[in-house]
Amino acid sequence: MRDLQSWLARLEKLHPTEIELGLERVSSVARALGVDTPARRVITVGGTNGKGSCVRTMEALLRAGDHSVGAYSSPHLLRFNERVRIGGEEVADKALIEAFEAVEQARGETSLTYFEFTTLAAFWLFKRAGVEFALLEVGLGGRLDAVNLVDADIAIITSVAVDHEAWLGSDREVIGREKAGILRAGKTFVCADPRPPASVVDAARKLECESFFIGHQFSLADNRYQLHAEPELDIGLPELRLPPASVAAALTALAIAGELPGADRVFEVLEDLRMPGRCQSLAWQGHQLVLDVGHNPAAAEYLADWLDRHPVRGRTLALVAVMADKDIGGLVAPLAGHIDHWYPALLPGNPRAAGAEQLLAGLAAGGVDSGRIEARCEPVAGQLSRAAAALDRDDRLLVFGSFFTVAEALTIIG
C-alpha cells in the first residue's frame, strides 16, 4: 500500500476487536522489532484527564533545553500524524508508512489491534531517529495498555476519575489500580491527582518508588510552582492555558530528572504553550468559539472553572455531541449553570455516538431545563449554523463532548 489512509483503513480491520487489553502479543512483536526500549530515557503518562497536556508540556520544555524528543499521544483531532511527533514536528506520511511496513514484517502471524500496531510504529520511528527522550501517553487504563510494554524511567498519573467503565470499572480504587500498573519498582513516580486512590498510594509504596504527590512534595497555586524536595524550586509561572496539575506534574518529572530549564525559560515556554482542543479559543464569524474535547464529568468540572475564569459580557451557548457510552448527565451537570442555551448535536457517521433521545435524556439528567434546549437535534454542521445565527455581539459558543465533536467542528470551520 502506498498511501497512509489505505494503511489506516487496513489496520482498523486487522484485529477482530477494536480493543483487546493485554501485553503478551504486542510485547512479542516489540522484541522482534527491537523497540521494547524506544529511547534512552522514557517517561510514561497515564491518567483519566490531562495526559496529553502533560506530554505537551514536557515536550516543549525538553526541546527548550535542546533535547531530542519523541512524543506519542492519542487520539488525534484531524490527522493521524498528530499522534507521533519527533522534534516537535508531526511525522510525515512516508515515515509512518515505512514504520507500518516494519511492524507488518515483524509481527508475522500475530494479530494486533489498531492501537497496538500504531504504538509499535511510533516506537520504531523513535528508535530510528535516536531520540533521547520518549514521552508516551497511555491509551486506556495503564497496566494492560500497549504503551506499558516499555519500562519507564518516570511514571506520571495525572488524574484518576471514572471513565471507560466497561473496560476499567466504575470505582476509583479499581481504576487507580489499573493506572498504577505503569509504575516500576524503585523508579520515580509523580502523581498530580490531589486525592489519589489508596490503590495508587499502596502500589507506589509496595514498589518502593521515589514518589512525588501534588500537595505534598510539589504544588502549584496562584501561578507559583514549588517543589518541596531536592532540588527545591519556587518558580513564578504565567497564566496557564493547560490544566495546572498536569503542568505541575511535568515540571516535577523534569526537575527530578535534572532536565528542567531555568526559571525564565520555563516562564517563556509556558506563556506560549497551547493544546489543540483543550479550552481552545478561536475567533469565528466575529465571535468567540471555544473548543474542548472533554468527555467525562471531571473534564467538565475543569471546563466549567475555565468558563468562570474567562467570562464574557453576553451569553454562552453550547453545542454538545457525545459518545453513547459516556455519562452524559454527569458531563452536563457541572456546566448546566454556565450555559444559557444548548444545541444537542448528532454525529451520524459515527456508530458510537449518542442519538437524539439519549442526548436529551442526558441533558435532563444533568439539570438542564427543557426551555434552554434547542428543539431540533441535528448533525453538528446544522447545529453549528443554527447556533451561529443565534449569537449576539458579545456571546460565545462552546463546542464540546468528544474528540469527534471538536474534529467535526474544526473541519467545518476550516
Q: How confident is the model at residue 369 (pLDDT cuts 50, 70, 90)?
A: very high
Pair type for strands 69-72 and 133-137: parallel
3-class DSSP assignment, residue 66: coil
Q: How confident is the model at residue 140 (pLDDT cuts 50, 70, 90)?
A: confident
**Which amino acid type is present at position 252?**
T
Q: How confident is the model at residue 12 (pLDDT cuts 50, 70, 90)?
A: confident
Instruction: Write down the pLDDT at residue 14.
Output: 80
Q: What does the angle CA 223 – CA 227 – CA 230 come to, to the nearest 5 degrees?
A: 155
pLDDT per residue over 233-262, tens digit each?
999 999 998 999 999 999 999 999 999 999
Report, as an integer, the average pLDDT of 386-402.
Answer: 96
Pair type for strands 41-46 and 133-137: parallel
Instruction: Write down the pLDDT at residue 17.
Output: 62
Give the whole-angstrom CA distance, residue 343 versus residue 324: 17
pLDDT per residue over 204-244, tens digit each?
999 999 999 999 999 999 999 999 998 999 999 999 989 99
Lowest mean pLDDT among 53-62, 122-131, 153-162, 396-405: 153-162
Give the whole-angstrom CA distance, residue 361 versus residue 29: 45
What pTM did the predictor assign? Answer: 0.93
**Three cell numbers written together for 49:** 484527564
